[in-house]
Every structure is written in structure tokens, then in C-alpha cells.
Structure 1
Amino acid sequence: MPGYNPSELGCGIVHIGIGNFHRAHQAVYVDEILRQSGGDWRITAVSLRNPDMRDRMQSQNCLYTLCERTADRENLRVVGAVAKVLVAPENPTAVIDALAAKSTSVVTVTVTEKGYCLKPGGRELDLSHPEIVHDVLHPAAPKTLVGFLLAACRLRRDRGLPGFNLLSCDNLSDNGALLRDCLLSAARLQDSSLVSWIAQEVGFCSTMVDCMVPATSDDIAENIQSHAGYRDTACLLSENFRQWVIEDNFVAPTPDWRSAGASVVADVAPYERMKLRLLNGSHSALAFLGALRGYTYIYEAATDRQIRWFVMALMRREMLSTLEALPDIDLEQYCTTLLDRFSNPSVPYTCQQVASDSSQKLPQRILEPIAERSRRGEQSPLLTGVVAAWLGYLFLGTFSAQRFELRDPAAQPLVEMLQRQKHQKNFPTLDQMRALLTHAGIVPATLLRGEPFLGMVQDRLARLIEGGVERLIGGLQGEELLQAL
């Protein structure tokens, strides 16, 4: 149980994007702080889209059970950190008021890559995005993260209140600075006088977060009822590992994050790159290859001998060279630990779940390290294999008997292009690869101009279409053997 009386503690944090990840990660850190030392640090949570989470939590006073599992152990923890859940479309004013409240000094964010409304493949706010256009024109009734933050900053300024600490917890490199740039970009169009206030008063803190939180199934609630004797409509599952690295850029009061096990550092960037490339990049590789191999779950892919070889080689031979050493982390051991975590059958991420929205994930996870290695004159046979696996996932998942549900905003135009190309002679050709990857809108121009990159992707996609994952990875293992000779 929480170990404190939640009703006796006030709210000092607003969280935007109340999903399972937040409830298994940031909310648990806050819960631990409240358990140890109390304080008015409970969370007012916000759903930007629908009332589902509010409806599931409200009937049980926002308490919920987190089931943490290893391969052979289970721990049930009731979390009391969330005080209430607001649904933005129902009452945007209530959300703005919570963000602008005098008691709010910390705002955390988990809205995924899509929630930042960025230009495809870039790090700039898409000012032509329909919802951003709406928020610029209708500042009192926003729809997006950027719109709500702007409205709150304006209200705080007008009330003479100081700003808050804004912690981005999404899988984007330099996410705090990215969120700052998005906010300032929209402010220049909507209320230019607000720009300097935001720059001076808001503490944009980049963070790196890590915890595997798969989709919740009915058996979790049934298991809790069987073992603990109560029904929980808002329970969830996670692994028993979590990590949070926070940039010390605070301008307002903040909880003692270190007391709950978080790291507070001067520069989060090297930790972000480590996680984005080693964890998230290899997760994407497992998702594509696992699905194409016929597996449902990530742990099945991670225990497949051939795929496991590919992912370990990907991390150690190509990813590690793009990362700097960290004083408190053994990167080689980190790679081994990652594959062990991915292999945990008690945390059943599906391959299709991890593969969703890949067009918005691959630039940071895969394409940036390829571009870095290319600038140093290094080829990336394994990383380009992941790009080919993504295209193969779109192609074979649409035109073969496997039929994946492609949950990706960029999937449809690429699938239509693949549909037109697949009947052409000698598909895939180099020119077809250039056209396809240019059309994707996420590949750096320097790579599109380079035939070595395009040729590698073409070769690997052809192998995949012809002989599946076994042919793709087997060819890469053969290349490695030849190089060793």
C-alpha cells in the first residue's frame, strides 16, 4: 500500500499524457518520495485525447496497482501519487488553470513523438499542422501540448506568477530543448510578448526515461483479484527496472528526485543517446525482425538465436562507436542487460506495438547513427539492415499473407508507392530505393545522395523479400565471416 494518506497531501505536479508509461515510471518515483518524506507533490494528470484513463481511475480515488514482474517473481504495489485526472477536450479551461496554479511548480510530459507536432523527420514545430494552426488562432481552447503550455504561461505571466520546471519524458534526443523551441516557435506567432517570459521563467529540463511497460491485458486484473482480493480497473504491468536521468535546469521548487533513485545531472544528452540508440534502436530492430519471422512478442524475437546475434552485433559493433563513455555505466554490460530485459516473457510487448509510429522513431534511433558513421567514412551494414527491415515490414506486412496492422502516419503513402513499384522490373532497384526513402521524408539528405547507403538498403531489402529474415541475417553473418578471413 502507499504508506501515506494521499488525501492529506496537495498537488505540485501536473502531468500531461496520462498513460501506462507515466503511471509505471514518473508516478512511481513521486510515490516513493511521498512515502519517504511526504510533501505536496501529488500529481494532477491530464489526458489530451479521451476519458478512458480518467473513467478507469476515478471510481477508485485514482489509486491503482502496479504489477512488477521478473521471469520468476511478482510484486504488487498500490500507487497513490495521482490525485485526479482531467480530460482536456471536456474542459480545457480546467487544464489551463491547473498548469497556471500557484502550487504547480513541476510539469512533466509523456505525449510520444506525435504529440510534439514536428515536421516529418525534423526537430521543428510543424506550424502548418492543423491542430497547431487551431491553437495559434484559438489560444483559450487549445488542443495540443504546445497550445496548453502557451495558455498556461500566458496566464501565469498575467497573474504575476513565476514559471515552472518543464520535464520532457519522451524518447526524443535533447527533448527539453526541443520542447522549448516548439513553444517559442508557436509563441512568436500567437503572442510575441510571451517569448521572452518563457525563455526567462520556464526551466526546460531534458530527461532520459527507461522502463518497459507493455499493454495491459485482462489477466493482470484477474491475477490481482486472485492474489490480493480486490478488483482494480486501472492496474498495469511493468518490468521491475526503471531509470530516470534529469537535467538540473530547475527554476522552481522540485521534489528530491535523487531520494527516489533518479539521477540529476548537468547534461542528459549522452544518456539520451545511449538509450535512444541501444535500447530503442534495438527494440525497433527486434520488432521488425520478430514480426517478419512470425513472432507475436518481443521476448520471442529476443530469444531467437539468429535475431539475438543481429541485435547484439548491431549494438556492439555499430551503435557503441557513436556513443561517449559514461562514468557510471558499463556500456558493454548495458547491451547484455538490455537483451536479458527484452527476453523477459513476463513483460509481453508485442512486435506490432513496438513497431507502431516507426517513421517518427527511426530518425533518432537508426538514421542519425548511420549519418554519423557515414561522416566518419564508416559503413553500417547492420544499421542499414534495420532500415531494410522497416521497409520489409511495410511491404511484406501489406502484400504477403502475414498482414500486419500498420499503425504509422507515414505508412499509407509509402505502401501505395510500394504497391506501384513492386510490379516494376528488378524491384527493388537503386532508383526505387532513392525514390522510396526520399518519399518517406525522414532520411537525411546526405544519406540519400550517397549510393553506398542506398545500395546497402536495396541489397538487404531484396534479400528480405526473397528469403525472409533468415536470408537477411544469414547474409550479414556471411559478410562478417568473409571480413574475418
Structure 2
Amino acid sequence: MENTMVLNQKNLAAIADRIPCPAYDRSELTAGMVHIGVGGFHRAHQAFYTDNLLGEYGVSEWGICGIGLREGDRKIHDILKNQDGLYTLIVKHPDGTIESKIMGSLVDFLLGIDNPVAVIDRMAHPDTKIVSLTITEGGYNFTASTGEFDFDNPDIQHELKHPDNPKTVYGFLTASLKKRRDAGLPAFTIMSCDNIQHNGDVAHDMLLTFAKRQDAALADWIEQEVRFPNTMVDRITPVTTQADIDYLQDTHGIKDEWPVTCEPFIQWVVEDKFSNGRPEFEKVGVQFVPNVKPYEKMKLRLLNAGHSVLGILGAIHGHKTINACLEDETFVTYLRAFMDKEASPVLDAVEGIDLNEYKDSLVARFANPNIKDSVSRICSESSAKLPKFLISTLEENLARGGSIQYATLVIATWCYYSDKGVDKNQQSIEIIDAMSNELHHASKQTQVDPLAFVKQESLFGNLAQNDRFRNLYVDTVRKIYEDANIKKYMQDLI
């Protein structure tokens, strides 16, 4: 399209003639929320809800200041600073309809690695009422099998010795909360939006464990004053591609360096416990409940585990995207069998949810041909995901005498995936995992010791000592190493 316009505040009025843009006065916004970890999901979810609230109800005190704590955050920081915090949300419907809209709820972005004092000051500012987090499972700094805080992390050791020069989320939170306490300001709420069961409780336990070691008196104040609501978040948000960037420029004449794509479905369930006020998100569809745990367990054990089931098995079979898996009837049947026979029986009752309808909706969402979520993204950081999403279900089924065969095939396939790094056609697989070296080393021993992979207690706990699991796993992993025809083994189970 001719006359391409760069996305920024100066061009916003002209861009509004092309696609919907914020109608509210962004210059009047203050940052009532600070968000650590500005990735695609945050921008498609919390920032989307916030943009709707700002636009529909005229509130000005709930803008978002983004925070990046890692060098890896520099690219998104630089792009969003150049675009005045503006970005395009591209919603892709299963029928091919595409809705694009400019989001304006991000009002600032700071990099902790460049200026930690500025980040501490922003979080300690009286305007800040909520600090929210999407820092991935690995950002919480605990050992998967024990749940214990990892004090051996060199950055944590640094923060204990130098509390005024933080590096991790814990150092920044304690430094800013100390500043608020000393200034007589109320505490902010810490709101995790990560896919971790009981995410608020985990944030509470990890921060308090750290704070007690760093400053016991501050830890007592945090325990009394800071609230940590559990939340359940849901919206499939694939990695932005060059094709998405080109689409905006070719179709609408808008140059956005990092738009976000997502599905139309969105859900957010939040425990209504806050330290210092909150936005009225219920006006834009957020569900506030007294106890979010049944909802988050349902989502983690069905959606997130289902994604991993498709991702790991699909990677070895050779499927490149999640929707491609769902075009394969074997994968559809296997996924539903896992959800029906292993995941659903260990779920709690979820008020207002028809589980069969929910599972049907998941299959439909995964199959959206316009999302094309890559298998490699879904498999990324499996060492942080599978203990919470899948292995926990397997352990509960072992305890109750339930089915374990579907999850066991996934774990055995994960071993082969970590060892060989190729699919059944010998095509290379992209493996993205902070533990990739450890996973590869353990899996490589499988042909000498078939239990080597599952003896990693940090991931699997005592699973290798369970006779029922051990016998099934050894038989399964042996078959896969003899012939990586994953689809055949899936068909044998269904």
C-alpha cells in the first residue's frame, strides 16, 4: 500500500482513518500498573483488557509502564519506545476474518539492566498500585521437583550482598517495597499472570523466602501488607512473524515493527484481593472470584498440557504447527483421549464450566488455521512447563490408580526429542530450553540406562522409583528408540 505511515503518537490521528485507534487522551494517562515481562502474551491480554477499560470508561489512572530486566528485553523496549508504546493487535478468526486495532495502554517502558534506580523509583512511585508479572515459569527461580527457592543462582547471591543493585525480579520488588515502606506509602499488589498453578501463592512464597534472607524486617512488612492474587489467564498468542508485519504494511499502510497476533478467545479469572485498589476490569469481561484455583488447574491441565502433548508428539512426527497436528485425526483422537481419561479425572469441580464444552472449545482453538502456532514455540522451555502441566497429572493418576499411558508416551517421546534433536524423517528440530544441555546429557544415556532421563529428580521427582510407571516407561522408550514412528504408538493407545 502506498503512503506507509510509521506507527507513533504523532501519526495516530491519520492512522485512525485506516484501522481503529485509541480514542482516549494518552497524554492524560498515569501508570497505575507496572508490568515486568512485556512479551506478546501481555500485550494480547492484560494490555488489551486495559486498553478496553481506558477506551470505554475514560479512566486515566490505570496506564501500564512496562519493565524489562534482561538483555533479551532490549529489542522490544527499543521498538516500543520508538513507537511511543503503541502497537497493533491482530486478531485472527478461524473463518479467516482479521481484526486489527492499535493498543495504547502502554505509556512507558524502562530497562532495569540499564537503569535499575529508575525502575525501583517507578515501582515505588505513589501512582503505582499493581506490579504484574509475565516472567515465565523459569523466572520464579525455584526447583521444579521440590518447589524450593534457588539461592545458588549467582544473581540472587549478588542481590543478597547488594540490595541496591538488583538483577532479578525479587531484588527489584524488595528494593521498591522497602522504599515505599520507608516513605510511609501503601504496598502495591503483586499480580502474577504466568501459567503456573497457584501463581500468586508461588510469587508470595518465593518473594518471602528471598526477603527473609535479605531483610527480615522488610519480609515481615511484606507479609502483612502485600497481596498476591492468584490468576488464570488464557489467550493463544503465537510468535509474531515477518508475514504479520508485512500484512499490516501491505493491507493498511502501517509500519509496526512488532505487532502481536492472537486468537479471538480471551479469558482472565482473578482472585479479588488487592493491596491498594484495582481497575474495574469486570466492566470489560474479567471474572473476579474468591478462589481461582479450580479454574487455573483446569486450564493448565487441559489447555497447557494439551499443547505440550501435541507439541512433543507433533515435533517427532514432523508437524510444524499446532493446527497441522489438529488436521491429523490421530492427533485429534489422542489429544481428546488424554484430556478425557487422564486430565479430567484429577480436576476439581469448576463452577459455571461444562468440561466437555471447554474441551471441545480447546480442540477448535488449537485447530484455528490462521493462528499457525509453531510446535517449536509450544515445546520451548518444556523443562519448566511439563512438571506443572503434565507430570503432576501423571503423579495424581498413579496415586489414584488412573490411566498413565498417554502422558507416559509424551515423556518417553520428550526423551527421544532431547537426545536426537530430529524428527522421524531426520529433519532437525529447534530445541529452546534453559535445561537443553542437561536434558540432552540425561537422554543420551538412555540406551545404557533406560531410566536415565526420568532420573532427573529436579524434573521428575521420584517417578523413576514407581514400579508401574517405570515398567511402562522403559517399554515405551525402548520402542521409540527402535522406531520413532510416534503415530503408530499413538494409534496403538487409541
Report the alpha carbon displacement of residue 410 of structure 1 after superposing the two structures with TM.
Answer: 2.3
Residue among 71, 81, 85 paired with 1:58: 81
- Give the conservation status (yes or no) of the 8 Å contact 2:450–2:477: no
Indicate which of 443, 447, 456 corresponds to 1:418. 443
Partner of 1:427 in structure 2? none
Is 1:45 the counterpart of 2:54 in the alignment?
no
Give how far 1:397 is off: 1.7
Q: State how far apart, in whole Å, the 1-side matches of 2:156 and 2:423 are.
A: 35
Q: Does 1:20 align with 2:20?
A: no
Give, in whole Å, the separation in 1 of the partners of 2:203 and 2:22: 33
Q: What amino acid maps onto 1:444 in structure 2?
A: G
Q: How does 1:43-442 map to 2 (within 5 A)?
A: 43-50=64-71, 51-71=74-94, 72-397=96-421, 401-422=426-447, 424=448, 432-439=449-456, 441-442=458-459
Offset at residue 352 of structure 1 (A): 1.1
Does 1:469 find its partner at 2:494? no
Q: Distance in 2 between matches of 1:213 and 1:465?
A: 34
Preserved contact between residue 418 and residue 436 of structure 2 (Cα < 8 Å):
yes
Aligned partner of 2:4 in structure 1 is none
Aligned to 2:11: none
SS of 1:204 mapped into structure 2:
coil
Conserved 8 A contact 1:205-1:250:
yes
2:415–2:453 Cα contact (<8 Å) kept: no
Aligned partner of 2:41: which letter?
Answer: F
Correspondence for 2:474: 458
CA displacement, residues 35-72 of structure 1 (integer Å, 9 cap, x when unaligned): 11122100010011131111111122111110000122
- Structure 1 position 36 matched with structure 2 position 56: yes
Instruction: State the one-letter code of the partner of 1:466.
Output: E
Partners of 2:199 and 2:231 within 8 A in 1 = yes
| Shift, 1:249, TM fit | 1.4
Q: Report the residue type matching 1:470 in the other structure.
A: K
Which digits, 9 at most, give the CA deviation of each residue in 1:438-457, with x for residues without a partner?
22521132x33211111222
Tell me, what secondary structure is at the counterpart of 2:76? helix
3-state DSSP of counterpart to 1:76:
strand
User: Equivalent residue for 2:461?
Assistant: 444
Separation in structure 2 between the aligned mates of residue 399 and residue 328 of structure 1, nearest angstrom: 41
| Distance in 1 (alpha carbons) for counterparts of 2:147 and 2:56 | 39
Give the Å deviation of 1:85.
Answer: 0.8
Deviation at 1:399, TM superposition (A): 9.3
Secondary structure of 1:205 counterpart: coil
Contact conserved, 1:9 with 1:38, CA < 8 A, in 2?
A: no
Asked if the contact 2:445/2:453 (under 8 Å) is kept, the reply is no
- Give 1:387 shift: 1.3
Distance apart, 1:230 and its partner CA? 1.8
Partner Cα separation in structure 2 for residue 25 and residue 6 of structure 1: 19
Write the letter of the residue equivalent to 1:382.
Y
Q: Distance in 2 between matches of 1:122 and 1:349?
A: 31
Q: Which amino acid aligns with 1:123?
A: G
If the length of structure 1 is used for normalisation, what is the TM-score?
0.94
Report the counterpart of residue 9 of structure 1 in structure 2: 29
Question: Equivalent residue of 2:363, what SS?
Answer: helix
Task: Return the alpha-carbon distance in structure 2 between the equivalents of residues 356 and 341 of structure 1.
Answer: 20
Structure 2 length normalisation: TM-score? Answer: 0.92
RMSD after superposition: 1.5
Cα 1:48–1:12 shift into 2, 3 Å:
same
Identity %: 36
Are the aligned partners of 1:414 and 1:440 in contact in 2 as well (CA < 8 Å)? Answer: no
Q: Is the 8 A contact 1:299 1:342 kept in 2?
A: yes
Q: Quick one: distance in 2 between partners of 1:413 and 1:194?
A: 37
Do the aligned residues in 2 keep the contact of 1:114 with 1:360 (CA within 8 Å)? yes
SS at match of 1:434: coil
Local SS of the residue matching 1:203:
coil
